[in-house]
Structure 1
Amino acid sequence: MAPGSATYHTMEEEKNGDVSPITLCSMRRSVSLLLIYIPLYFAYVAGAALIFMVTEGAIEDAYRKRLVEKREAFLSENYCVSDEALEEFIEELASASRRGVSAARNASGDRNWSFGQSFFFSSTIVTTIGYGHVHPLSEGGKVFCIAFALMGIPMTFILLTALVDQIVRPIIWCLRRLEILLRQRQKPLNIQMIHFALISSVFFVLFLIIPAAIFSSIEKDWTFLDGFYYCFISLTTIGLGDYIPGDSLDQPLRPLYKIAIAAYLLLGLASVLTVVRLYNDIPELNLGYYLRPHADFPGPEQTRLVPNVADSGLQR
């Protein structure tokens, strides 16, 4: 069996004693680690929930207080408007906003379903980012969205896999060259860690720092932090939808801008998957490996991304 390959055994095999003690020990160890990891995971999420509750709750309360004051001031200045009529109007605005129609835009603004906007929306569906700020309104549109996603998401995964395979080729070549240069002074693990840090830094600059600076310069209301936040939330497919580029009324070349953003998201996702693949190829970093049931755990030198230099065809 190759190092690191998963081995599963039936309960009948364990009962009959056909499984070695080492394998049973490894399986029990993975179960024990998983039972420890699960409460730690939920504790981490709960801790974040408490932080959000404290930090964001205060801001929400301030907005609620301001909204009540604005409402009371409006009613006092416009005594001909009843509280019931104002409430009905606010509910209508909220309903339109939930459907992607903003009352803050004038009638001459670009439609949500122009080609550029529709292309951007389609790309967020198949990449599973799903901002949620615009969504189908018609019954037919909802049915088509489901059918489109069923075909489009696997097609996107295939495309991303192919892109990652092409991106990894020069990255592996660089890793082999780095191993040749440093093999006399550094251990294989250290070389791989240096390589991972370099590649991650390059992708960090290319797909987070530079795009964030571009977005902050194009979007008039965005700071650099807003641009960085948007890039991170999008490329991790969280897609909160609180920041959407190209939604201002006076955005020049808006359809082309939206299509360019869709292309950036696709390349950015490919870069994220590349970094994840490099991360998973380092056993010392891939802690999830120890939560899976298998026969043996690799040592630091058992599972290496870099092949032996003599076998790589790069030996001087």
Structure 2
Amino acid sequence: MPQPIPGNDGTPKGQVAATWEHGAPSHARLRGLAWICLTDGAAPQLASAGPWRKKERKKERRSLLEVILDAWEQGVNPSGNSTNPSNWDFSSAFFFATTVVTTIGYGNLSPSTVCGQVFCVFYALCGIPLNLAFLKQLGKCLTIHLGRLERGVVSVVPHKQSVEALAVSAFFLTGSLLFLVLPPLLFSYVEGWTFGEGFYFAFITLSTIGFGDYVVGTDPGKEYISLYRSLAGIWIIFALAWLALVLSTGSRMAAHVIASCDKEDDEGEAPSNKVEDVSKI
């Protein structure tokens, strides 16, 4: 059985194809891909060509490899075609900026020039704190609206605790539907994923883990609308604000329950202390 054709870094052909599909292409992967494409088509001709012709074909392969690497450094996806947008169109750049300030960092798109890397460093230093402040203010706005809703319902229904629990439950269920159920369905439809893969992407994104194994808008065989990635970035921002508010509300409720339990324990200990004082008298 013939051995698989390796890239110039010794990577087998199947492994190069697999890593290309599931990760951000590096220079080594690009070299391996270009080597496979060139050797698959050039091997029969090289076998029948003379020494001079072999040298010419090797020079042609090196030139094409340099073109591919240069294209990648300039932000062009070599695996795409003429119908695919650039890696750095507005929608992709907006999505990249969102993943930077939210510290998700998928890794599928990154600056390759020195100027771009330096700008990214200063952009992250300024953008991450500003994004945290923005999420905090957005959470406060949501809390204010939630409080107004509670007060409006309490004015009609006298049971305050029941109304608070109902409002928090409605807020949680509505946010789960908007940010954790409908987006995975949309991603599954557009990207050709299962719902489980779409939900996995949503969870990994909103938890800011950002493995990068699933990223929207990266399939070179699909044509996306121009604002697809921008809408995904907006979803990330608002979903993170909702998630932060849910966690904050949950922590406050847990603290309230703990305080109530401590208060009941203190009230239970007070009568026993009085009985002890009376017995001493």
Q: TM-score under structure 2 normalisation?
A: 0.63
* SS of the residue 1:152 aligns to: helix
Residue of 228, 235, 260 corresponding to 2:199: 228
For 1:236 and 1:277, the matched residues in 2 are separated by 15
Matched, 1:217 2:189: yes
1:136 is displaced (CA, Å) by: 1.8
Matched-pair contact (CA < 8 Å) for 1:100–1:112: no
Task: Name the residue aligned to 2:134.
Answer: 159
Matched, 1:299 2:260: yes
Whichever residue aligns with residue 259 of structure 2, its letter is: P
For 1:101 and 1:261, the matched residues in 2 are separated by 28
Structure whose alpha-carbon radius of gyration is higher: 2
For 2:105 and 2:153, the matched residues in 1 are separated by 39
RMSD, aligned CA: 3.4
Whichever residue aligns with residue 266 of structure 1, its letter is: I
Which of 1 and 2 has higher RCO (CA within 8 Å, sep 6+)?
A: 1
Matched-pair contact (CA < 8 Å) for 2:80–2:221: no
Q: How does 1:28-107 map to 2 (within 5 A)?
A: 73-75=2-4, 85=8, 87=10, 97-98=25-26, 105-107=79-81
For 2:221 and 2:207, the matched residues in 1 are separated by 29
* SS of the residue 2:259 aligns to: coil
Matched-pair contact (CA < 8 Å) for 2:217–2:224: no
More helix by share: 2
* SS of the residue 1:255 aligns to: coil
Matched-pair contact (CA < 8 Å) for 1:128–1:237: yes
* SS of the residue 1:215 aligns to: helix
Matched, 1:132 2:132: no
Whichever residue aligns with residue 132 of structure 1, its letter is: G
1:195 is displaced (CA, Å) by: 3.4
Task: Name the residue aligned to 1:65.
Answer: none
Q: How does 1:115-126 map to 2 (within 5 A)?
A: 115-126=90-101
Whichever residue aligns with residue 217 of structure 2, its letter is: G
Percent identity, aligned pairs only? 27
Q: How does 1:136-285 map to 2 (within 5 A)?
A: 136-179=111-154, 183-184=158-159, 188=161, 192-220=164-192, 222-284=193-255
Task: Name the residue aligned to 2:85.
Answer: 110
For 1:273 and 1:131, the matched residues in 2 are separated by 21
Query: Unpaired runs of 5+ in structure 2?
Result: 34-77, 264-281
Matched-pair contact (CA < 8 Å) for 1:216–1:224: yes
For 1:84 and 1:281, the matched residues in 2 are separated by 56
Report how many aligned residue pairs link the two structures: 211
Matched-pair contact (CA < 8 Å) for 2:180–2:199: yes
For 2:232 and 2:245, the matched residues in 1 are separated by 20
Identify if the C-alpha distance between structure 1 residues 280 and 213 changes in structure 2 by more than 3 Å, giving closer, same or farther: same
1:170 is displaced (CA, Å) by: 1.8
Matched-pair contact (CA < 8 Å) for 2:9–2:28: no
Identify if the C-alpha distance between structure 1 residues 230 and 166 changes in structure 2 by more than 3 Å, giving closer, same or farther: same
* SS of the residue 2:260 aligns to: coil
For 1:276 and 1:86, the matched residues in 2 are separated by 47
1:172 is displaced (CA, Å) by: 1.4
Identify if the C-alpha distance between structure 1 residues 229 and 262 changes in structure 2 by more than 3 Å, giving closer, same or farther: same
1:138 is displaced (CA, Å) by: 2.1
Q: TM-score under structure 1 normalisation?
A: 0.57
* SS of the residue 1:299 aligns to: helix
For 2:187 and 2:228, the matched residues in 1 are separated by 11
Task: Kindly provide the CA deviation profile for residues 80-130 of structure 1, in whole angstroms up to 9, marking residues without a partner as x.
Answer: x6x685716869886971479875824534332222212111110011111
Identify if the C-alpha distance between structure 1 residues 243 and 99 changes in structure 2 by more than 3 Å, giving closer, same or farther: farther
For 2:195 and 2:185, the matched residues in 1 are separated by 6
For 2:11 and 2:214, the matched residues in 1 are separated by 28
For 2:28 and 2:132, the matched residues in 1 are separated by 28
For 1:241 and 1:285, the matched residues in 2 are separated by 38
Whichever residue aligns with residue 217 of structure 1, its letter is: Y
Whichever residue aligns with residue 252 of structure 2, its letter is: D
1:159 is displaced (CA, Å) by: 1.4
Identify if the C-alpha distance between structure 1 residues 248 and 284 changes in structure 2 by more than 3 Å, giving closer, same or farther: same
Identify if the C-alpha distance between structure 1 residues 182 and 284 changes in structure 2 by more than 3 Å, giving closer, same or farther: farther
